[in-house]
Amino acid sequence: MTKIVIKNDRIHVPHRLASFYELYKRFLKDHGCKWHDFAKLLSVVAEILFDVDGDCSIIAGKSSRARSSVKDDKDGHLVYWPGYVMGARYKIIETLGEGTFGKVVEVKDLEMEHRMALKIIKNVEKYREAAKLEINVLEKLADIDPDCKNLCVKMLDWFEYHGHMCIAFEMLGQSVFDFLKDNNYQPYPLEQVRHISYQLIYSVLFLHDNKLTHTDLKPENILFVDSDYEVVSVYNSSKKKHDLRRVKRSDVRLIDFGSATFDHEHHSTIVSTRHYRAPEVILELGWSQPCDVWSIGCIMFELHLGITLFQTHDNREHLAMMERILGPIPYRMARKTRTKYFYHGKLDWDDKSSAGRYVRENCKPLLRYLQSNSEEHRQLFELIARMLEYEPSQRITLREALKHPFFSKLPSQQRLGNDRARCNGEGSGSRERSHSLSR
């Protein structure tokens, strides 16, 4: 049977619902309930038990018997399909994204009647434990900031489903990276770079004020609240017309707290995604909040120019790029590191090799990337340079960054509530709440 048909006092139901129907029909008669109340209830029951949609037509494909089993693929991902219902509550609509941790899907909450993003973690122990740590961080942040005024993504629920940790979040738009990629890596307008950067600094300062380091800041982890866009026509230097996307609203949220680390916790030797990794991390000199500041500097450069500042996958080459763009790495850092990248305090790098030529031809001193001599462009690059100081102790703090002249032109309606108070040194506090997942 492929349809549930409700008409007057006649109803055709799948065989497995027949006994339920007879019992409930008797209940309706005894208690004087109206028929349409039962019809509505049956529709909900069918949606949960048989993965049918709102008009009660069964989704084509697998049988309900096949659908009732929970399976994982060879990598530990949950096997699901559109219409799959988890825990009799979350109905999967579509896949939104995928990573090493698992997958993110759009779901309909059958209880609350709204849609959300559900992060389904692989059924693999290390990812399951990492998810528990992320939940712990998100719950502590929610305890400090229940209204999410500091722009960290809002966690709505979490549960375990047949070995898969699942975390439900508010639905957001594209990441600033995906929008950039879909726009053929055409950079964001300066006013949007300013607004996105301001929000990112504001949000990460909230973490730092509460003794937390994100450690994995990158464009993929900054999501637009709404990535709806308009198409505008522009002309290049050769007067050729081409269309560009411009996001209508540049409000963002910070996501992915799976690697976030409190000051008192164990600090892994290597953190951050390669392109946004600070020099003290590469040199294994220890790290704290300033490594986030370095990452933000790299992100701001990328938003403004549409290119990755340090496009490499090798430590030695990464350090060579840093020296080409920012100048020599300080002798103190070279002397202190136990890594083998330096010889007598200088980077052991052959500038005449093919790799050396690649770095020389594809990297240049930071200020040579400046495409306009306007004051606000110079202010942007001055701020980026302060964020990319080699010595963590010399790097600008995020509280100082919010005061930087680059943000002086930020419209008043884009300023966030208490940034003036925080710039004057008033922290958010670090009250923590114990929980079964507490570290």
19's tokens: 């006994």
Length of the chain: 439
Active site residue 256: no
Strand blocks (E) in 252-356: 252-254, 261-262, 342-343, 346-347
123-151 burial string, b = 16+ CB within 10 Å, else e? bbeebbebbbbbbbbbbbbeebbeeeebb
Paired strand residues for 11: 6
Cα–Cα distance for residue pair 112/114, rounded to 1 Å: 6
Cα–Cα distance for residue pair 198/256, rounded to 1 Å: 19
**Is the Cβ–Cβ distance between 107 and 166 less than 8 Å?**
no
118's tokens: 């559900």
Annotated catalytic residue within 53, 73, 145, 216: 216
Paired strand residues for 90: 86, 109
Sheet containing 102-109: order of strands: 85-86, 90-98, 102-109, 114-121, 164-169, 155-161
**Cα end-to-end span (Å), the chain:** 51
**Is the Cβ–Cβ distance between 48 and 84 less than 8 Å?**
no
Cα–Cα distance for residue pair 121/131, rounded to 1 Å: 7
- Which are the catalytic amino acids? 216
